[in-house]
Structure 1
Amino acid sequence: MTSRKGLPVDKIRELEAKAKEIGLSESLLIENASSNLFEIIQKLNLGTKAMVVAGRGNNGADVLSCARKLLSRGFEVKVIVLSEKPPGQEALRQKNILEKLGILIYDLKVGAIHELPLLLEESDFILEGIFGIGIKGEVSFFHKEVIAAINESGKKIVSCDIPSGLSPDEGLVLGQAVEADYTITFLAAKKGFYLNQGPEYCGKIFVVDIGVSRQMLEEPV
């Protein structure tokens, strides 16, 4: 069971920093997180056709890494990378790995948003990692359109760490937010999951670790 009291972003950042201090690299944390993300998705039995929608940050890297794990277990996976801005280092790294494995990646540009509903139609479920807990301010018009298309797809939606577009501390919709059926979150539930609009957008919440648990990171050294 998930506690009805989530952690604020600054506390989550402290735990992430502690994980790095003990020697876990960003890349390793992403691999660990995506493995646990995959394990929950597999248990949910949402179907075998996954559409992975990735943003430019580490949440995008998480779902791209998870896409590789889904493929290795026999899922049919299609990948959309949102290309409003260039990807960050870890997301680019994960994207390059998929490309070297011969995985077709659709770079969705601002002018091609009309193609998204048809792409989403081909899946049993959607795994999204557009924004994470670092989201600041209202989402762009491009991202509003992407999120609206995901919400209107009629597919089961899995959000990585937090429904994209939801503020992690306040639980407010920042212009548009993903209406998740499941939120698989790392280390601890976020404070905003239980405030304001948060409960309407998170669906069922699963808390997983990142190769080291919250309790281990909180233990005094």
Structure 2
Amino acid sequence: MPDTQSHLPDALYTAEQVRDLDARLIAAGTPGLELMQRAARATWRAVRRRWPEAGVLTVLAGHGNNAGDGYLVAQLAHQAGWVVRVLAVGDPAALHGDAATAHQQARAAAVEILQWLGQPLVGVVVDALLGTGLRGEVREPYKAAIEAINAADLPVVAVDIPSGLSADTGQALGCAVRADLTVTFIALKLGLFTGAAADHVGQLLCEDLQADPQSLSQTPATATRLDSANLAALAPRPRTAHKGQFGRVLVVGGDHGFGGAALLSAESALRSGAGMLTLATRAEHVTAALVRMPEIMSAAIHSANQLTGLVAAADVLVAGPGLGQGSWARSLLSVVAGADTPQVWDADALNLLAAGQVRLPSGCVITPHPGEAARLLGVTTAEVQADRPAAVRRLAEQFKAVCVLKGSGSLIADPQGRLALCDRGHPAMASAGLGDVLSGLIGALLAQHMQPFEAACLGVWLHARAGELAGLEGRGLLASDLIVIIRRLLEELQPCLK
């Protein structure tokens, strides 16, 4: 995930919204050149803090305001005694407005400015090529310049956004700069946190350029970045609490050969605070469930008729972990789908839904990974990943459900238009069974009387944060490693007792 700071704002905006904020700042009396100078000073401060002994700076400049920031950074570094060179990938003669003034100031300060002809890069590299207005794939000569930056194996700071990265979707538009540090301005852009962003942004700093907080507050955020301070809370339990107050979760899954998925989901739900847990699975998995966790009430299910009574007694249903897609799975899922009970659907439940085998009740939580999301939407996985925010919103609207689109920069959307993003996680989480743990966790939070959107947000954050902590030990993370950590995190964040 991007190396973010805990004090970053939690409001995320589109590129158009930030451009509008920039225009309003100028209209309110702050000259555009002054904003550009503030951006340059912020970037230069960040460079000095990160690489204080470097002494050499190469700026690759494009042709817009992003280039103007770069020319002013070069001027500041030159005045501080660094060896500085600007390689103009965009023709300086095409610059206009504040960017042209910035170029003139750098030239007047005797900064060396050369046309980029593929020269070797040295020192700290400043990416001032392409800004947030990029549409469509990167074209030459910018493609070659980005490839040169990525091949140079030098420290890289991106001005506002890594060139080639979509500010709205996080998609790498053909190619994108892999920065070690990104200094973004005025407000956070959604695309800095999802899609391919984690491989390109590096450490992220946000400089508001002294923007009026009231102006920011008047612009509704397009999404909320989840943080421990803005998560919905489970109420503390009274000292007279009993298990019946915290819900009976029924996990339905575990076809032949897939019992582990259902067991992981069941254990996760119990460890996350569900009052009672019943596992409806194949007979062959019952003994394993009793041995692993005797607190689970395990039911051997041969036919849909045997499931009806268990569904009627449950407060929350979790369907899909290890369910399979055969006749057994279809018959069980049809019973689940007929229940007027809060539900979480994952894995094969989503595959059967995509195949038209069953209809999803309204008000559910669905947790697809990009491949499952693609099948639900009838598109390719690449199309989902190209615009994850649009995909998750479409799923929430189409199925009238809270949707968690898993992956780097997981997104949570509801049919009312709310969108949240989780920027936690660790690459060690690329391991089987993690989704089963998440579905059980969200089921447990629903059983403890959380609303679906709030339960999904809290569950995704706890799951990702637990993965970060478990990932500190490196490769080989098991899904079950997260369960105890999630329990500890939940207690630290929202204690059981006051």
Using the size of structure 2 for normalisation, the TM-score is: 0.40
Q: How does 1:38-187 map to 2 (within 5 A)?
A: 38-45=44-51, 47-83=54-90, 86-108=94-116, 112=117, 115-116=118-119, 118=120, 120=121, 123-187=122-186
Q: Give the Cα–Cα distance (whole angstroms) in 2 for the partners of residues 137 and 38 of structure 1.
A: 30
8 Å Cα contact 1:193-1:202 kept in structure 2: yes
AA partner of residue 215 (structure 1): P
Counterpart in 2 of 1:215?
213
2:30 to 15, 21, 24: 24
Q: Structure 1 residues 133-142 or 55-64, which shifts more?
A: 133-142
Question: Could you tell me the percent identity over the aligned residues?
Answer: 26
Q: CA deviation at 1:83?
A: 3.2
What secondary structure is seen at the aligned counterpart in 1 of 2:95? coil
**1:81-129 CA-partner distances (Å, limit 9, x unpaired):** 1136822332222222222222221112xxx3xx33x2x0xx2210111
AA partner of residue 104 (structure 1): E
**1:30-65 CA-partner distances (Å, limit 9, x unpaired):** 111111111111111251100011111001001111
RMSD of aligned Cα (Å):
1.8
Q: Give the Cα–Cα distance (whole angstroms) in 2 for the partners of residues 214 and 181 of structure 1.
A: 29
Query: Structure 1 residues 55, 83: closer, same or farther in 2, change over 3 A?
Result: closer
Stretches of structure 2 lacking an aligned partner (at least 5 in a row): 1-5, 219-498
Query: Structure 1 residues 125, 217: closer, same or farther in 2, change over 3 A?
Result: same
**1:131-157 CA-partner distances (Å, limit 9, x unpaired):** 111111111132111100000001010
8 Å Cα contact 1:57-1:90 kept in structure 2: no
Q: CA deviation at 1:70?
A: 1.1
Counterpart in 2 of 1:206?
205
What secondary structure is seen at the aligned counterpart in 1 of 2:136? coil
8 Å Cα contact 1:7-1:190 kept in structure 2: yes
AA partner of residue 43 (structure 1): R
Q: Which has the larger radius of gyration?
A: 2
8 Å Cα contact 1:4-1:194 kept in structure 2: no
1:37 and 2:43 are equivalent in the alignment: yes
Using the size of structure 1 for normalisation, the TM-score is: 0.88
Q: CA deviation at 1:219?
A: 5.1
AA partner of residue 13 (structure 1): R
Q: Give the Cα–Cα distance (whole angstroms) in 2 for the partners of residues 216 and 127 of structure 1.
A: 32
Stretches of structure 1 lacking an aligned partner (at least 5 in a row): none
AA partner of residue 23 (structure 2): A
AA partner of residue 203 (structure 2): K
What secondary structure is seen at the aligned counterpart in 1 of 2:13? coil
Q: Give the Cα–Cα distance (whole angstroms) in 1 for the partners of residues 50 and 203 of structure 2.
A: 11
Q: Give the Cα–Cα distance (whole angstroms) in 1 for the partners of residues 41 and 95 of structure 2.
A: 21
Q: Structure 1 residues 53-62 or 3-12, which shifts more?
A: 3-12
Q: Give the Cα–Cα distance (whole angstroms) in 2 for the partners of residues 14 and 62 of structure 1.
A: 18
AA partner of residue 82 (structure 2): F
Aligned residues: 210
8 Å Cα contact 1:48-1:124 kept in structure 2: yes
Counterpart in 1 of 2:472?
none
Q: Give the Cα–Cα distance (whole angstroms) in 1 for the partners of residues 212 and 179 of structure 2.
A: 24
- Following TM superposition, the consecutive aligned residue runs of length 4 or more in structure 1 with deviations greater than 6 angstroms are none
8 Å Cα contact 1:165-1:174 kept in structure 2: yes
AA partner of residue 50 (structure 1): L
Q: CA deviation at 1:218?
A: 2.5
The higher-RCO structure (CA 8 Å, 6+ apart) is 1
Counterpart in 1 of 2:21?
15
8 Å Cα contact 1:6-1:193 kept in structure 2: no
Query: Structure 1 residues 214, 37: closer, same or farther in 2, change over 3 A?
Result: farther
8 Å Cα contact 2:74-2:111 kept in structure 1: no
AA partner of residue 83 (structure 1): G
8 Å Cα contact 1:15-1:214 kept in structure 2: no
